[in-house]
Structure 1
Amino acid sequence: MNEIYVSIDVETDGPIPGPHSLLSLGAAAFDAGGELRATHSVNLELLDGAAGHPETMAWWAGQADAWAQARRDPQPPEPAMRAFAAWLRALPGRPVFVGYPVAFDFLFVHWYLLRFTGASPFSHSALDIKTYAMALLRKPYRESTKRNMPRRWFSAAPHTHQALDDAIEQGRLFCSMLAENLRGRG
Structure 2
Amino acid sequence: MTTTYAALLRGINVGGARKVPMADLRTLLEGLGLGAVRTHLQSGQAVFRADRGDEDTLAAEIAGAIETRFGFGVDVLVRDHAYLKAVAEACPFPAADLEARQLHVTYFSGPVGPDRFTGIDRAAFLPEEFRLGDRALYLYAPDGLGRSKLAEHLSKRRVNKDLIATTRNWNTVVKLVEMTGE
TM-score, scaled to structure 2: 0.29
With CA pairs under 8 Å and 6+ residues apart, which has the higher RCO, 1 or 2?
Answer: 1
Structure having the higher helix fraction is: 1
Higher strand share: 2
The normalised TM-score by structure 1 is 0.28
